[in-house]
Amino acid sequence: MDLLRSHLHKVRIPEPTDRIHTDESASHSDTPHVAWNYEKTGNPVYLHIVQRPKPEPDEADRPLKKAHPTGHRRLWDGSGGNNHAIEHYEQTKYPLAVKLGTITADLEAADVFSYPEDDSVEDPLLAQHLSHFGIDFSSLRKTEMTTAERELDHNTNFDWNRIQESGKDAEPLYGPGYTGLVNLGNSCYMASVMQVMFSTHPFISRYFEKQSLKAAFATSPADPTLDLNMQMTKLAHGMLSGKYSVPNKEGQEGICPRMFKTVIAAKHPEFSSMRQQDALDFFLHLIDQVDQANPGNHELNPFTGIPLHEATNKEQLKVFHEKKAAMDLDGKEVSNEEIVRPRVPLEACLASFSGAEEVPDFYSTALNSKTTAIKTAGFKTFPDYLVLQMRKFVMEAGWVPKKLDVYIDVPDTIDISHMRSKGVQPGEELLPEGASGDNKAEPAYPVASEDIVSQLASMGFNYLHCQKAAISTSNTGVEEAMNWLLSHMDDPDIDDPISKDSWAAEHTVDDASVQTLVSFGFQEDVARKALIASVRIFFYDSIHR
């Protein structure tokens, strides 16, 4: 006992905000490796939790079963979930289950499902049953769809031809590189991005081939559960080793990337939530976080819209739209099998990106005034991997967002050599660095476009909010400002006045820092831009805390 007391001061007691992971270790996706932690910390004291089954009370007193991790139902074609909930009911005969993510202060909205009746039911004693498990429903909010909502969403959005190959049964694949990721609740955006990233050589080499789990654990900080490099290495070994991808009668279980999501989404208000997110936004966030944790620099630019006028099946589209218009007049609906979607080749999207674009209200330092400019885009260098975003959302009348129903034909090989930027061409000259003459130069701080602000304000939005939306989107257009405004209506600082001093401070850098980077071999203008970018990130983070 004296030996134990001499080491008790080394035991780290969890704080109220600390996450406790019981199903996975800091370095592996399954069992913990206590020996590694002992070698790293020298702490010989560990708590071994022994779980003993507790007798269940009489079912007449408590019809609800305790929380049991399950998957969705298996669909008629074998796809979907793993049917664990139904199999659990068949084994135990517990009749009722409540979906925890639907419990709110309004208990009537909670989703209680009866397996004998195969339908949602009402539980008049739900409050009493929840209190038995220590669940305080008064402070909970809804995070999941109810069974009825999920069925409606599935029936509305299900497209057989897009989900599966027509007339073919998909064969499950197992082994290294074929490991699935468990859905943590609207986390498919994260799973799809990580599957793509760990199919590329740089990520495979950095986090799997050249980085062992033990080496990553030994070089991680005191708490490896909060270290991005450790969790990236753990995720890479889980997905690429093949250890967790073996044939199973009930299908692949995959690995649960809960620790990884905790680290990568730390301090991010959206990715740390259980809401659906955009895959491109998460990809850019991932690249930013990896850049900060490792040496390197990545710069990604999104594409412009999809040129629907370049569709290769215009005749079929014309016939389909005429048929659809006639059916609409007769009150009939077009079936999924009859829908004809535009087919746009990827080459047309690239041509749209690199083609000449007119830029109104461009401030020319040569004229010291605004004018109309012609802009073209090209590649100065050709990276090993090129990320393309198909921007399928457009704004309809009344500023209603709509997703384009279009196919993009992507060939196995494309030639983009014609998109190489050749720099200044004959007859062109670079704009001067600064303004000259007596005309008024651009202000040192961002100014909202009055045209954008007036259009947004005419729709009923607050004038100050409209100004912030225009400034935050660099006056690129009404659509971009509208999107920003709708996604930031609940920001705590949305009503704060625009501070010119804060914006000026954002673009101010220390000359000594510039000279430090110059001494490393960087050009002065490049060093200054990099410092401004880092200051901007800190400024944005500060005002949104």
pLDDT tens for residues 328-370? 888 887 777 777 777 778 788 778 777 787 877 787 888 777 7
pLDDT at 164: 46
198 pLDDT tier (thresholds 50, 70, 90): very high
Token pair recorded at residue 317? 């589209």
Residue 227 has pLDDT above 60, yes or no: yes
Comparing 124-133, 203-212, 276-285, 524-533, which segment has the lowest mean pLDDT?
524-533
229-253 tens-digit pLDDT: 899 999 999 999 888 888 876 656 7
* The residue type at 496: D
- C-alpha–C-alpha distance, residues 237 and 257, integer Å: 12
Residue 122: give its domain's CATH number: 3.30.40
Alpha-carbon distance 471 to 484, whole Å?
A: 10
Residues 508-520: tens digit of each pLDDT: 566 777 777 777 7
In a domain, 143, yes or no: yes
pLDDT in the model for residue 190: 92
Confidence of residue 422 (pLDDT cuts 50, 70, 90): confident
Mean pLDDT of the chain: 75
Quick: pLDDT tens for 286-328.
888 887 776 543 332 222 345 666 677 778 778 887 888 887 8
Helices first, then strands: H and E counts in the chain: 20, 9
CA 221 to chain centre: 26
Q: What percent of the chain has pLDDT over 90?
A: 4
Residue 135 within a domain: yes
pLDDT for 440 beyond 50: no
pLDDT in tens, 155-174: 555 544 444 454 556 677 88
> Which structural domain range is residue 101 located in?
59-151
d(CA 113, CA 95): 8
- Cα separation of 181 and 428, whole Å? 52
Answer yes or no: is 72 within a domain: yes
7-11, 124-128, 204-208, 343-347 — which one is most confidently predicted on average?
A: 204-208
String of DSSP letters for 222-234 = S-GGG-HHHHHHH
Q: What is the pLDDT of residue 543?
A: 37
pLDDT at 221 over 60: yes
Select the more confidently predicted residue: 502 or 161: 502
d(Cα 189, Cα 277) in Å, to the nearest integer? 6
Q: Contact, 535 vs 506, CB < 8 A?
A: yes
Write out the H or E segment, with its range, that includes residue 469: helix 463-472
- Residues 120, 151 contacting (CB under 8 angstroms): no
pLDDT at 437 exceeding the cut of 50: no
User: Does any domain span residue 417?
Assistant: no
The answer to whether residue 144 scores a pLDDT higher than 60 is: yes
pLDDT of 21 strictly over 70: no
- Give a yes or no: residue 88 inside a domain: yes
Alpha helices in 250-407 (DSSP H): 258-264, 279-293, 314-329, 346-354
**Total structural domains in the chain?**
1
Residue 207 in domain: no
Question: Is the distance from CB of 255 to CB of 239 less than 8 angstroms?
Answer: yes
Question: Do strands 393-396 and 407-409 pair parallel, antiparallel, or not at all (unpaired)?
Answer: unpaired
State the pLDDT confidence band at 436, using cuts at 50, 70 and 90. very low
Residues 39-88 have pLDDT tens digits of 777 777 776 666 677 666 554 455 555 545 555 665 544 455 566 777 87
Q: What is the pLDDT of residues 385-418, one digit of tens each?
A: 888 877 776 666 666 667 777 778 888 888 888 8
In a domain, 481, yes or no: no
Identify whether 128 is part of a domain: yes
